[in-house]
C-alpha cells in the first residue's frame, strides 16, 4: 500500500468517527460507504508498484525530459512529415546482418533481424515487430495502415497483410532512414549490470532507451528464497529487491555511464522507498558482478557523497538474479500501446 492511499483511508476513518459521534443514526449508511471505499482502495493497491501513479508520472517525466536524437532534414522529411524514401535506396533494404533495428529518433528497439525478409519491394520488410514497439493507425489516405514508433510517434512506414510472403502473412514495410541498426555484439563485448532502484517497470523503461543496451530483464535479487514470486517479494519478507539485469555492448557504452544514469533516474537518497512505492523491495542498490564494477560504483558514490549528498544506495556482490514473471517484462512497452 502506498502512502497516498494510506493517507486517504486515514482521513476517511477520522471523518466517519467524527460524524457517527455527532449523529448515531447515520451509522449504517456510513459503515457501508466506508467498507466500499476501503475495499476499492485495497484492490487498487494489489496490482503492484502503485502503477497508476508511477506510470503516469514516468510517462510525463519522459515526455517532458526525453531528448530525442537530432534529425537531418532528410530524416525529418520521413520521420516527422511522414514521407517515403525512394525504393532500393535505403541502407537496410538489402541488408541481413544479425541484430536489432531501433528507432532513429528515440532509440527504442523496433524489430529483430530474425523477422526481416526479402520482399523485393525496395524497403526493409519484417513479418513481426518487438512486442509493443510499433503502433498501427489508419493512414492519412484512409486506406493503408501506417506504422509509427509506439514510444515517440516517429513515422516508420506501412503494414500490409494478405500477401502470403511469409507464414505470418504480414509485412511491415519500413523506411531504412527511420531506423538505426545495432549488431549483435561479439561475446567478448557483452557485459551485464544489475541495479535496484524502485519499481522495476520504470527502471527498465529508462535503460531500454540507452544506446548500447542490448537487452533488459526485470527480476528479483538479494533475498533469501529461491524462485521468488512477485507476491513473495511484496508480502512475504523475502528481502529481495525489484531488480533490472542489463546486457550491454561494451564498445557502445560503459558500466560507468550506466551507473551514472542509474543515479539520474531515481532518488538515491531515499531509504527503502521510491516516492509512493515503499518497502525494502524498492531499495536503492548496485549489485556488482566483478571487482571492476565494484570500484566504479564506489568511486561514483564517493563523488556524490563528497558533493554533500546523503547516498542511501548500497553496494553488494550480486547473488542469483531471479527473472520476474513474464507480465512484468517490458511492462511499459506492452501497456504503453493502449495509452499512447
Which sequence positions are flagged as catalytic? 173, 199
Smallest gap, in angstroms, from Cβ of residue 108 to Zn ion? 5
The residue among 105 and 273 lying less far from Zn ion, judged by its C-beta, is 105
> CB-wise, 175 or 196, nearer to Zn ion?
175
Which of 49, 78, 103, 213 forms a contact with Zn ion (CB under 5 A)? 103
Nearest approach in angstroms of CB 100 to Zn ion is 13
Which of residues 75 and 232 has its CB atom nearest to Zn ion in the complex? 75
Radius of gyration of the chain (CA): 24
- Total number of residues binding Zn ion (CB under 5 A)? 8
Give whichever of 62 and 259 is closer to Zn ion, judged by the CB atom: 62
Ordered DSSP codes for 78-95: HHTT---PPTT-STTTT-
User: How far from 236 is each of 52, 204, 228, 314, CA to CA, in Å?
Assistant: 23, 24, 10, 22
CA 113 to chain centre: 22
176 near 91, Cβ under 8 Å?
Answer: yes
User: Containing H/E element for 317?
Assistant: strand 314-317
Binding status of residue 106 toward Zn ion by CB under 5 A: yes
Q: Are 127 and 117 in contact (CB under 8 A)?
A: yes
Site for Zn ion in 132-191 (CB under 5 A): 149, 151-152, 154
Residue that the C-alpha cell 545495432 belongs to: 182
Binding residue for Zn ion, selected from 55, 75, 105, 178, defined by CB under 5 A = 105
Through-space distance between the first and last CA atoms of the chain, rounded to whole angstroms? 27
Mind giving me the DSSP string for 119-137?
A: -SSSS-EES---TTSEEEE
Q: How far is the CB of 156 from Zn ion (least distance, A)?
A: 9
Which of 54-62, 95-103, 197-205, 332-340 is the region at the interface with Zn ion (rule: CB under 5 A)?
95-103
Q: Do residues 155 and 82 make contact, with C-beta atoms less than 8 angstroms apart?
A: yes
Q: Which stretch binds Zn ion (CB under 5 A): 51-59, 78-86, 102-110, 193-201?
A: 102-110
- Residue 154 Cβ vs Zn ion, minimum distance, rounded to whole Å: 4
Closer Cβ to Zn ion, 181 or 309, answer by number: 181
> Rounded to the nearest whole angstrom, what is the least distance from the CB of residue 174 to Zn ion in the complex?
12
CA–CA separation, 135 and 141 (whole Å): 17
Q: Is 101 or 262 the residue whose CB approaches Zn ion more closely?
A: 101
194-222 residues labelled b (16+ CB within 10 A) or e (exposed): bbbbbbbbbbbbbbbbbebbbebbbbbbb
CA 103, 105, 275, 258 dihedral sign is positive
Closest approach of Cβ 149 to Zn ion, in Å? Answer: 3
Residues within the interface to Zn ion (CB under 5 A) = 103, 105-106, 108, 149, 151-152, 154
Amino acid at each position: 500500500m502506498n502512502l497516498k492511499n494510506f493517507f486517504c483511508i486515514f482521513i476517511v476513518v477520522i471523518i466517519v468517527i467524527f460524524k457517527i459521534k455527532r449523529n448515531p443514526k447515520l451509522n449504517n449508511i456510513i459503515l457501508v460507504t466506508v467498507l466500499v471505499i476501503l475495499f476499492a482502495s485495497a484492490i487498487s493497491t494489489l496490482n503492484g508498484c502503485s502503477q497508476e501513479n508511477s506510470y503516469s508520472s514516468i510517462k510525463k517525466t519522459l515526455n517532458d525530459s526525453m531528448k530525442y536524437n537530432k534529425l537531418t532534414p532528410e530524416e525529418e522529411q520521413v520521420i516527422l512529415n511522414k514521407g517515403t524514401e525512394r525504393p532500393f535506396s535505403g541502407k537496410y533494404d538489402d541488408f541481413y546482418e544479425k541484430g536489432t533495428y531501433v528507432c532513429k529518433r528515440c532509440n527504442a528497439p523496433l524489430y529483430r533481424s530474425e523477422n526481416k525478409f526479402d520482399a523485393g519491394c525496395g524497403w526493409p520488410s519484417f513479418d513481426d515487430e518487438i512486442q509493443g514497439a510499433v503502433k498501427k493507425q489508419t493512414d492519412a489516405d484512409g486506406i493503408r495502415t501506417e506504422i509509427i514508433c509506439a514510444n515517440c510517434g516517429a513515422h516508420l512506414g506501412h503494414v500490409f497483410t494478405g500477401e502470403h510472403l511469409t507464414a505470418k502473412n504480414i509485412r511491415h514495410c519500413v523506411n531504412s532512414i527511420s531506423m538505426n541498426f545495432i549488431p549483435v555484439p561479439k561475446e567478448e563485448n557483452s557485459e551485464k549490470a544489475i541495479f535496484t532502484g524502485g519499481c522495476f517497470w520504470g527502471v527498465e523503461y529508462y535503460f531500454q532507451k540507452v544506446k548500447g543496451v542490448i537487452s533488459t530483464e526485470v527480476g528479483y535479487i538479494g533475498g533469501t528464497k529461491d524462485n521468488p514470486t512477485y507476491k513473495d517479494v511484496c508480502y512475504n519478507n523475502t528481502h529481495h529487491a525489484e531488480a533490472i539485469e542489463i546486457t550491454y555492448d561494451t564498445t557502445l557504452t560503459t558500466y560507468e555511464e550506466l551507473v551514472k544514469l542509474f543515479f539520474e533516474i531515481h532518488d538515491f537518497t531515499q531509504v527503502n522507498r521510491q516516492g509512493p512505492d515503499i518497502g525494502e523491495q524498492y531499495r536503492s542498490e548496485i549489485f556488482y558482478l566483478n571487482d571492476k564494477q565494484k570500484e566504479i560504483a564506489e568511486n561514483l558514490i564517493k563523488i556524490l557523497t563528497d558533493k554533500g549528498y546523503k547516498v542511501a544506495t548500497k553496494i553488494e556482490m550480486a547473488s542469483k538474479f531471479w527473472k520476474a514473471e513474464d507480465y512484468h517484462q517490458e511492462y511499459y512497452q506492452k501497456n504503453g500501446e493502449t495509452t499512447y
